[in-house]
Amino acid sequence: MTRTPAPSRPTALRYRNAAAALSARLIQYRSRVEQSSLARRVLSRRLLVLVVAITVGWQVTGQLNAAQIAQQSWGNSTAVVMAARPLKAGELIDSASVRVEQIPTRLLPDGALVELPLDRRVRIEVAKGEILLQSRVSAVGAGALGATLTADTQAVTLALGEAPAPVQVGDIVDVISVRTAATGLDYGAVQGDGVETDRVATAAQVIQVTQGQATLAVRTGQVDELVRAASTVPISLVILR
């Protein structure tokens, strides 16, 4: 059997150096491949971010353009005072009960309040989101009951006896005076079966009810006759609605 001679020392050294160089080149190549792959991933992510940014920007621009077109179609806007919650008649207006909002000027109702009123109350109930009108707001410094009165009404309190008043706030009533012939009083009454009645106030609104009493908003021209009748003869309330 023939034996292969062992390589000489210089030859072995050259083989080892060549192997080391090849290994180094392989490592360098693998590193370049990995860096190239990483670069592709980074580039891919950057392209994705760029596409998303362009898409979002396009959508935002479209929305802004639509908003501008809508605003131009509505025209200019104006600040108005709106109820932030339901308000009861006579309730004080303040920053907690109302808010200021912008609405298209073309939709602004006549008499709308455009700034927060000071020391004033609502005359009637106001729903949440309703625009406050000058005609529905009291004069400065008005009380809770006085705020509910209009320019042609006055408040009159009537005694109705010890029993609870048979009416509720918001009822519309007529006031009837009742007398018999024994009273000897006449207010232009209509007679029948010995009992005379007179409608001394019509379409008055109940604005407050307490034990045995009711306060009515009565037309100014009917106040004197109502007070005179209430002080001399029994009266009754007829609820209309």
Burial of 205 per CB tally in 10 Å (0-12, 13-18, 19+): buried
Residue 125 pLDDT greater than 60, yes or no: yes
Q: What's the confidence (pLDDT) of residue 83? A: 94
CATH topology of domain 75-148: Type Iii Antifreeze Protein Isoform Hplc 12 (3.90.1210)
Q: Answer whether residue 6 shows pLDDT above 80.
A: no
Six token digits for residue 25: 């080149």
What is the rounded CA–CA span in Å between residue 145 and residue 201?
19
Pull the structure tokens for residue 164. 């609870």
Q: What is the pLDDT of residues 21-74, one digit of tens each?
A: 666 666 666 666 566 666 667 666 776 776 677 777 778 777 777 766 666 656
Q: Measuring CA to CA, how many Å separate 180 from each of 105, 113, 194?
A: 62, 53, 6
The per-residue pLDDT for 86 is: 95
Kindly indicate the confidence band of residue 82, based on its pLDDT and cuts at 50, 70 and 90.
very high
Domain boundaries, the chain: 12-72, 75-148, 152-239
**Mean of the per-residue pLDDT values of the chain:** 79
pTM above 0.85, yes or no: no
